[in-house]
Amino acid sequence: MKKFNFRKVLDGLTAASPVGSSGGGSGSGAGGSVHPGGTAGAAGTPREEIQETLTSDYFQICKTVRHGFPYLPTALAFDPVQKILAIGTRTGAIRILGRPGVDCYCQHESGAAVLQLQFLINEGALVSACADDALHLWNLRQKRPAILHSLKFNRERITYCHLPFQSKWLYVGTERGNTHIVNIESFILSGYVIMWNKAIELSTKTHPGPVVHLSDSPRDEGKLLIGYENGTIVFWDLRSKRADLRAYYDEAIHSVAWHHEGKQFMCSHSDGSLTLWNLKSPNRPFQTTIPHGKVQRDGKKPESCKPILKVEYKTCKNSEPFVIFSGGLSYDKPCRRPSLTIMHGKAITVLEMDHPIVDFLTLCETPYPNEFQEPYAVVVLLEKDLIVVDLTQSNFPIFENPYPIDIHESPVTCTEYFADCPPDLIPVLYSVGAKHKKQGYSNKEWPISGGAWNLGAQTYPEIIITGHADGSVKFWDASAITLQMLYKLKTSKVFEKQKVGEGKATAEIVEEDPFAVQMMYWCPESRIFCVAGVSAYVIVYRFSKHEVNTEIASLEVRLQCEVEDIITPEPETNPPFPDASSQLPSLKSLSGSTNTVACEGTMKDSIPCLSVKARPVRMPPGYQADLVIQLVWVDGEPPQQITSLAVNSAYGLVAFGNCNGLAVVDFMQKTVLLSMGTLDLYGSSDPYQRQPRSPRKSRQFAAGLTELSDSPVSLELERCKSPTSVKGSRKLSLPTDLKTDLENRENSFSRSRSSSVSSIDRDSKEAITALYFMESFARKNDSAVSSCLWVGTGLGMVIILSLNLPASDDLRQSEPVMVSPSGTVLTLKGAVLTFACLDCMGTLTHQPYEVWRDPHSADDGDKTRKRKLVMHSPSSSQDMGDHQFAVICSEKQAKVFSLPSQTCLYVHNITETSFLLRADVVTLCNSVCLACFCANGHIMTLSLPSLRPLLDINYLPVTDMRIARTFCFTNEGQALYLSSPTEIQRLTYSQEMCDNLQDMLGDLFTPVETPEAQNRGFLKGLFGGSGQAFDREELFGEATAGKASRSLAQHIPGSGGIEGVRGAAGGVIGDLTRARIALDERGQKLGELDERTASMMASAEAFSKHAHEVMLKYKDKKWYQF
C-alpha cells in the first residue's frame, strides 16, 4: 500500500498558485532604483520544516590578498636588515614582499604613480614619493600598512629623494633644482633649503636642470652630493652652507654612485659613458669609459651608446669592486634585448632580459655606506617580471622565484576557484608538476626572506585554475591565502602546429591565439577536466600518474541553425562576419582580428578549425587528452564559439552549447549522442511562435570584442574572452563606456521580453548559456529521480533532457545512451546563469561522479574493472525523499522550484536596472546560499531555498571587462577576480574570515638587531672626517633653520596608527590598537634612551677614571714642575 504523503498534497495546492512557473513572480522590485532590493515571493509556506541557519550576520566583504606581478611597476626599494622588498606602480600601488607567504598590497588613495620608495632601514617604515608631488610615510609595524603622515608640495615637483641610514632627515630634490629637507618624525619641512642658484657658480648662465641625485658622503655626513640633470655635480657643505667643489660634464647625468671610502664617485651618462671622479681633482673625471662603445682605430673617443640609466659601484674586501649598470648598449644593434651589465675586474658579463628594465638594486651585506659593501645579489625589476641574480657565483645564475609572479606569462582568459576540495589533490598535482621544473637556478636561499608568516586557523585545501591565451592551463595551490603553482597543462599540444603563412588558407576562425581557453570545467572528485577553446573545440582530459604513448581520439560535430533561420546578406554588403544572424559577437578572436576568408573558389564544409595530431603522442603523467571534439564549418559558415560546458564522470557524458544549439557526447564510447538546434530541443513545448524570417539587406555589427552583446544573452561568453587589448576594436576601459553598453543591453532586453509576450520579434537564434547534469525529476508525474541534463538558454528558458543510461556498468561501454527531451520547460527573466539541486532537507546535492581510478594503472591490467559511482551525496538514495528543490538563477532573477510538481516556490527579482555577471550556489558554515555579482558592482547573497537577501553591498565597480569575465565565487565565503592583467585579487564575503584575517596575514616587521658598524680604528676616526660629530638636528631644526614657507608644502595627517581591517571605525578595538602601537613606540624609545644612558654612563665612568689617574700623577708636583 502506498504511503500517504502530506507534502505532495501541498505540492498540488501550490501548483495552482499564481506564482507558478510562468515567470511573473510576485512583485517587480523597487521600481527604477539603481539596485532594487528585489522581492522574494513564496507561494504559501510549504517547506516550514527547513530551518535556514544563515543570517546577514554571517556575511561581510573585505579584500584578503593580491597575487601576481605588480602591474606597471615604477620603483623598487629594499631594507637590508629586515630583508623585505617594496615595489611601487604607475597606478599608485605598493607591493611589499618578504619570505613566501609575506605579501602585502597597499594603495595610495590618489592613484598617482609611485616615483620612488625609501625604507627607514630596520625601523618598520617606508617613504613613498608620488607623481602628484606628495610624500607619504607608511607604518609597516602592522599587518595592513597605513599612512602615518603625508606632505604635499604645492609649488615644486619632486624628482629625487634620499634618506641617509639612521637619519630622521629626508633630502628631497625638485624639478626646479632646489633641495628641501623633511623631518621624518613630524613630516614637516625644515627651513634649511639648498637653492639651485646658490649651489652653482655665479658665473653659470644656465639653469642646471632638475635634481637627479642626492647622497651624503660616506666619509662625512655633513657633505651632500647633488647631481643635476645637465651634468653639474655639487659637493655641498651642509654646515657652512656653501659648495665645497663643483664638477661639470658635457653629457646629462642619470645616476651617481659612491665608493665606500668617500674619496671618489662614479656617474652614468646619456651617451653610454661612465665617469669616475676624485674629490681632490674635480676639474675633470680621472677615468671615462664607454663599456659597450666600439674603440675607434685612429684613437678617437669610442662612439656613443644608449644612455646608462643607473649605475651601482660596490666594493669587496677580497676582490675587485663590482660595477653594475642598466642600458648603455651600442646603437648599431637595434634588436638587442634590454640588458644588465656586470663588470667585475676585467670581466664584463651582459645579462639579457625578456622585458625592459624598470629599476635594479644591489643587495649588500652591510647597511653602512662607509664599509666594504660585499654585494651578494642583484634584484632586477622588469616591466613584467622580477628576477634576482646571484653575484657570489661566477656564472651569475638567477634564484628560483618563490612568488607567483608568472600568472600573466600568457594573458589570463578565464578563472575557476575551488575551496574545500579533496585533500589528496594538491600533493598529486604538485608531484606531476614538479617533474617539469627548470634547472640551473642558484643553490642559495632566496635572499628576500624578511617578515613572518604562519598557516593560521584556515586549513582546508583551495585550488585556483587559470586558462590562458596560448592554450595553457595552470593549477595553483591557493590554501591559506598563499599561491603556489602546482601544475601546467598545455592544451595546444593535441593539435598540429600551424605553419607560418598558412593562416589565410586554413579554416581558422581566429588569427591570433587560436588555442585560447574560453571555458573550463573540473570535477575534483573524479579528476575529469574539460576545456573549451576559442576555435570551437572541447577537450576531455583524464588524470593519470603514468606516462602513456597513444593516439588522440577525436570527433567532429555539425551544429548549425536551419537554413531558413540564417539571414544572408547580399554579396556587395558582405559584413566582416559571415554569420550575420548571430546575436553574439562570437566570431571575434581572443586577442586579434578575425579571419573567416575561405580558400579561393571553394566553400568550406565539414572541416574543423584546427587539425588534431593523427600520430601517437607521448603524454607525460598528469592530465592526458582522452577526447577532442571539434565543431565544423557548415556550408561556408564557421562554427560559433562555445557558450556553455558541462561534464559528468558518472554518466560519461560531456555537453556543450553555443548560439546555434546543443551537443551531447559520450566520451566513454566516443560517440555523438545529440547535435540539435536550440529550437528543436523544445519539440512542441516552445512557448514562442517563431516564424522563419526573410533575409534582411544589411545588419549592424558590434563594435568590438569587449562590447557587450546586443541581446539578453549571458556574459558567460564575454567572461571567457581574453582581457588583452584587441587590434582594431574598441577597448572597454572606462566606466562610462561600460555604462553605455550596459544601457544598450538593458534596452534591448526590455524590448525583447515581457511576461505576456506570445511571439518574439527577434532573431531565431537562442544561445545555450548554462548546462547541469543531475539526478532529478524530469517530469511532473515522476515518482523517482532519474539522470537529467538541465539546459538554460539566453532567453531564460530551461529545458530538461532525460538521459537513458544502460542499467548495468557492464553494458556501459556497448549499449547506447539515449538523450530525449522530457517536455518540461521552465521560464525565467533573462539569460540562465546557473543551476543547483537541494534535497528535501535543503542540503546541496552533489552531482553524481565516478571515483577516480588511474586509467593506465600498471597493477590492474583488467580494462573491464568496475567503475565506482557516487550517485547521491551527501544523502543516500533512500534518504533522497520524494521531492527536491531546483535552484535556477538567471541574469535578472532567481527561482526555486519544487520537483516533481514543478511549482515555483520562491522567486526573487535580483535586479531591474542591471544584470548579473556571475552567480554560484556555494556552501558556507555548513549551510548553502546563492552568491551573485552584478554588473553595477553589487555583490549579493541570497538564502536557500527561500531566497531571502542576506547581503547586498555595492563593492566592486566593473571598470573593466576583465573583472566581469574572471569574477567567480567558491565555497567557504571566498571569491576572486583579475584586478589587472597580471594580478589576482581574492576577497571574502564571510564575516568569520574577515574576523580571522589578521591572524592569517604575514608580519612585515620582525624585531631584528641592527648590525654593529665595523670599528673604524683610532687614526681613521681622527683623520677620516668629522662625520660622527655631525648633528643634523642642530642644523635643520626649527631653532636654527627656522620654519619653511607654509605655501611650499602642506602636511596631511594619516590614519596609519590603526591596525586591522575595521580598526579605523574606532570603538574598543581601535582604541586598544592605538594604545598597543603607542606602547610599542614608547617601549622602543625607552629602549633607545636606556641604551644611550648606558653609553653615557660608560663614557662618564671612563672619563672619571682617566681624570683620577691624571690627578694621582700630578698630585705631589709643584707648579713649576709642570
User: Could you report the per-residue pLDDT of 68-85, keeping only the tens digit for each?
Assistant: 999 999 999 999 999 999
Cis ω before 307 (30° cut-off from 0): no
Strand ranges for 660-720 from DSSP E: 661-666, 671-677
Cα separation, 53 vs 915, in Å, equals 28
pLDDT at residue number 35 = 37
pLDDT at residue number 489 = 95
CB 605 within 8 A of CB 633: yes
pLDDT at residue number 728 = 30
CB 954 within 8 A of CB 940: no
pLDDT at residue number 1102 = 75
Cα separation, 657 vs 649, in Å, equals 18
Low-confidence ranges of the chain (pLDDT < 70): 1-49, 203, 298-299, 334-335, 436, 456-458, 499-509, 511, 561-602, 684-764, 858-865, 873-881, 1015-1030, 1039, 1041, 1056-1091, 1114-1122
Give 1079-1120 pLDDT, tens digit per residue: 555 656 666 666 677 777 777 777 777 777 777 776 666 555
pLDDT at residue number 438 = 74
pLDDT at residue number 688 = 65
Tell which residue, 191, 279, 280, 198, has the closest CA to residue 241. Answer: 198
pLDDT at residue number 735 = 36
Cα separation, 764 vs 761, in Å, equals 9
pLDDT at residue number 18 = 36
pLDDT at residue number 1082 = 61
**Which cell goes with 676?**
540539435
1036-1042, Cβ contacts within 8 angstroms, sequence gap of 24 or more: 1036/169, 1036/181, 1036/183, 1036/190, 1036/192, 1037/190, 1038/190, 1038/191, 1040/192, 1041/190, 1041/191, 1041/192, 1042/191
pLDDT at residue number 1029 = 58
DSSP letter, residue 262: S
pLDDT at residue number 758 = 32
Q: What DSSP assignment string belongs to 306-323?
A: S-EEEEEEE--SSSPPEE
Cα separation, 113 vs 527, in Å, equals 44
pLDDT at residue number 716 = 36
CB 245 within 8 A of CB 282: yes
Instruction: Tell me how long the chain is.
Output: 1122
Cα separation, 403 vs 391, in Å, equals 21
428-432, Cβ contacts within 8 angstroms, sequence gap of 24 or more: 428/543, 428/545, 429/463, 429/475, 429/477, 429/486, 429/487, 429/622, 430/477, 430/486, 430/487, 431/545, 432/487, 432/545, 432/620, 432/621, 432/622
pLDDT at residue number 1087 = 62
**Which cell goes with 791?**
539546459
